[in-house]
Structure 1
Amino acid sequence: MSAMPRRCHRGVLMKPVIREAVPADITDMAKLLKTLFSLEADFSYDETKQCRGLELMLEEGARRCMMVAEQNGRVIGMVTAQLLVSTAEGGLSAWVEDLVVEEPYQGQGTGRALLLSLQAWAAARGVKRLQLLADRSNTRALAFYRKMAWQFTELICLRTYV
Structure 2
Amino acid sequence: MSIKFRPAQLGDIPAIAALLANLFAIEQDFTPDPARQLAGLKLMLPREDILMWVAEEMLEEESKIVGFCSVQTLISTAEGSVVGLIEDVVVPVEWRGAGIGRQLLEGAEAWARRRGCSRLQLLADEGNLPALAFYERQGWQRTSLHNWRRMLRD
TM over 0.5: yes
Match of 1:123 in 2: 113
Aligned length: 148
Match of 2:69 in 1: 79
Match of 2:94 in 1: 104
Aligned residue among 127, 130, 139 for 1:137 = 127
Matched, 1:114 2:125: no
Question: TM-score with structure 1 length normalisation?
Answer: 0.90
Displacement of 1:51 in angstroms is 0.4
Match of 2:53 in 1: 67
State the alpha-carbon separation in 1 of the partners of residues 106 and 97 from structure 2.
15
Displacement of 1:39 in angstroms is 1.4
User: CA offsets per residue over residues 6-38 of structure 1, 9 Å max, x none?
Assistant: xxxxxxxx2411100000000000000011101
Question: TM-score with structure 2 length normalisation?
Answer: 0.94
State the alpha-carbon separation in 2 of the partners of residues 39 and 150 from structure 1.
21
State the alpha-carbon separation in 1 of the partners of residues 28 and 144 from structure 2.
20
Q: Which amino acid aligns with 2:71?
A: A
Q: Which amino acid aligns with 1:136?
A: E
Displacement of 1:59 in angstroms is 2.2
User: CA offsets per residue over residues 94-119 of structure 1, 9 Å max, x none?
Assistant: 11100000111101100001000000
State the alpha-carbon separation in 2 of the partners of residues 156 and 49 from structure 1.
25
Structure 1, gaps ≥5 residues long: 1-13
State the alpha-carbon separation in 1 of the partners of residues 56 and 80 from structure 2.
36
Secondary structure at the aligned position of 1:136 is classed as: coil
Displacement of 1:158 in angstroms is 0.5
State the alpha-carbon separation in 2 of the partners of residues 113 and 93 from structure 1.
20
Match of 1:89 in 2: 79
State the alpha-carbon separation in 2 of the partners of residues 120 and 39 from structure 1.
28
State the alpha-carbon separation in 2 of the partners of residues 161 and 45 from structure 1.
16
Structure 2, gaps ≥5 residues long: none
State the alpha-carbon separation in 2 of the partners of residues 124 and 59 from structure 1.
18
Between the two proteins, what is the percent identity of the paired residues?
44
State the alpha-carbon separation in 1 of the partners of residues 40 and 135 from structure 2.
24
Aligned residue among 18, 38, 45 for 1:51 = 38
Q: Which amino acid aligns with 1:46?
A: D
CA RMSD of aligned residues (A): 0.7
Match of 1:25 in 2: 12
